[in-house]
Amino acid sequence: MRAVIYPGSFDPLTNGHLDLIQRAGKLFDLVVVAIAPNESKTPLFSLEERRSLVEQSVAQLPRVEVDTFEGLLVDYVQRRGGHAVLRGLRAVSDFEFEFQLALMNRKLNERIETIFMMPKESYTFLSSRVIKEVARLGGEIGCFVPEPVRQALKEKLRPAQPGGRPGGTSYAADLECATSRG
């Protein structure tokens, strides 16, 4: 059985992440979404919250597992018997960092390959950071994240919307959805 490990912060999971998980599912027997604590990035959601959101969002997808890990990624991949590491490339700007990371991981364990996949074009602008920013300002993000994530962001950011548009406007939502469908 060939397994790919998809590591990341997933703070929170977006439709871009989900797109990659589905693509990888066509190539591998098992996709393990491996959530790193990444405390240095001061995550909005706790590790357990992130895990629960990913679990709810992939519940309908066959052969996808959700896990958390600490320490070196290559050690985790080895422990899980993973055949490859999956990372996403959205734009050229991702390349340099991902290139460094992949080569460092190869230095640490040369048996582990990193593969890169590109999301659907309309998800290339999506990042957890931008989603959090838009949600914080009261923008509608329903087209960009799975429903459990939308709900959780609304709950989490509800008190911090003094100048924002609570719940967003349907006009903005329509525009954003039109773009994301493209």
Q: Where in the sequence numbering do the catalytic residues fall?
A: 17, 41, 90, 128
Q: Answer yes or no whether residue 14 interacts with ligand ADP by CB under 6 A.
A: yes
Q: Answer yes or no whether residue 55 interacts with ligand ADP by CB under 6 A.
A: no
Among 82, 119, 139, 146, binds ligand ADP (CB under 6 A): 119
In the complex, residue closest to ligand ADP by CB: 16
Q: What is the CA radius of gyration of the chain?
A: 17
Question: How many positions of this chain bind ligand ADP (CB under 6 A)?
Answer: 17
Q: How far is the CB of 162 from ligand ADP (least distance, A)?
A: 28
Alpha-carbon span 44 to 50, nearest angstrom: 9
Interacting span for ligand ADP (CB under 6 A) from 49-57, 64-72, 107-115, 118-126: 118-126
Q: How far is the CB of 173 from ligand ADP (least distance, A)?
A: 19
For ligand ADP, the closer CB: 127 or 161: 127
Alpha-carbon span 142 to 24, nearest angstrom: 24
Cis peptide bond prior to 12, omega within 30° of 0:
yes
Q: Answer yes or no whether residue 94 interacts with ligand ADP by CB under 6 A.
A: yes
Q: Answer yes or no whether residue 114 interacts with ligand ADP by CB under 6 A.
A: no
Alpha-carbon span 20 to 119, nearest angstrom: 6
Q: How far is the CB of 137 from ligand ADP (least distance, A)?
A: 19
Residues that bind ligand ADP (CB under 6 A): 8-10, 14, 16-17, 20, 38, 87-88, 90, 94, 119, 123, 126-128
